[in-house]
Structure 1
């Protein structure tokens, strides 16, 4: 995407230590829906759950026709993620929480660190740093992930092998390693969005 300005965002999965995070450069002028797609690619999520961006008194999401506006977010003003650009709210407020999968409740703290000029000839979005592999989809939230890590770290546990095999759906067949982070793989996924 062609843009003169970039937003440097640090996105950190909450409640997990050591932290799982990504630093990404995203072009100005994109919608929150596009930012959702960027976060999915940067973390390797599989994008089959609902999401929202929470600014406290404003929520940005895909509207659900089964609910009245504001009903899902305690009366907060709701904006359509496919129509709302990040330039207003995110630049003005500097941070928000992106939640993916309301069952597992993966909360990602997003902080706008810098506004930068785009470099001529570079493609964006772009990941510039990060750490650790995200939890497997549908693992059961933070507590389920902690139990999963306990089981895969104990080769004598009766479910050790089954859990590792189950997690391969999230690693393209590679053995799950919570410390794994490959910036080139992340940027290949992001390049498909450019």
Structure 2
């Protein structure tokens, strides 16, 4: 599919809100992709497991997967709703420069997505790609920011009666590695991103 700006990439900085020190990723994503593809890229960049709902909130515009149980406007108080599988990132991101990506409306993981710069495609380079980042994301279903703080308090105290249980539980998020909030390995992130095809619009 031909679209304007297909020879550029967007440099995005994505940071989880309300957690210090910050958990963040800087990614380069191709122009012309849909918000659904951007959702997949963020999932891979942070290692989320993609089994919860999500949306991109620009204030007066929300991009999400429409729920057939709700009429347009019912969930978002009249904000304009766009379908993530049909809406390309280009116009909204290049004009607005930032939005909030929320994953899992229970735990409510809110990520600030900021467009830092637009740059030309580098010949021979694969996109999407992560170029920087820090720290491991919280475990899925840990109970939001407050649940994560409690989780960290317990796994930092080997004498706590639930220390082992919490670490074993968190292996679902690490593939069997001991959970380390400081863990970030860019090659691992880019292996996950390489599985996302950048040639298709979805």
Pairing partner for 1:11 from 4, 11, 14 = 14
Task: Note the C-alpha offset of 1:173.
Answer: 0.3
Query: What CA distance in whole angstroms lies between the structure 2 residues aligned with 1:77 and 1:85?
Result: 15
Structure 1 gaps, min length 5: none
**2:107 counterpart of 1:91:** no
Normalised TM-score (structure 2): 0.94
Equivalent residue, structure 2, for 1:103: 106
Task: Note the C-alpha offset of 1:128.
Answer: 0.2
Equivalent residue, structure 1, for 2:68: 65
Task: Note the C-alpha offset of 1:78.
Answer: 0.3
Task: Note the C-alpha offset of 1:75.
Answer: 1.1
Normalised TM-score (structure 1): 0.98
Query: What CA distance in whole angstroms lies between the structure 1 residues aligned with 2:158 and 2:179?
Result: 13
Query: What CA distance in whole angstroms lies between the structure 1 residues aligned with 2:195 and 2:36?
Result: 15
Report 1:23-172 matches (<5 A). 23-172=26-175
Task: Note the C-alpha offset of 1:4.
Answer: 1.1
SS of residue in 1 equivalent to 2:183 = coil
Query: What CA distance in whole angstroms lies between the structure 1 residues aligned with 2:49 and 2:76?
Result: 24
Structure 1 stretches of 4+ with a deviation exceeding 4 A read: none
**2:179 counterpart of 1:186:** no
**Post-superposition CA distance 1:99-129 (Å, at most 9, x none):** 0000000000000000000100111000000
**Post-superposition CA distance 1:133-177 (Å, at most 9, x none):** 000000000000000000000011110000000000000100000
Structure 2 gaps, min length 5: 198-202
Equivalent residue, structure 2, for 1:22: 25
SS of residue in 2 equivalent to 1:149 = helix
Q: How many residues align?
A: 193
Query: What CA distance in whole angstroms lies between the structure 2 residues aligned with 1:98 and 1:53?
Result: 4
Task: Note the C-alpha offset of 1:70.
Answer: 1.3
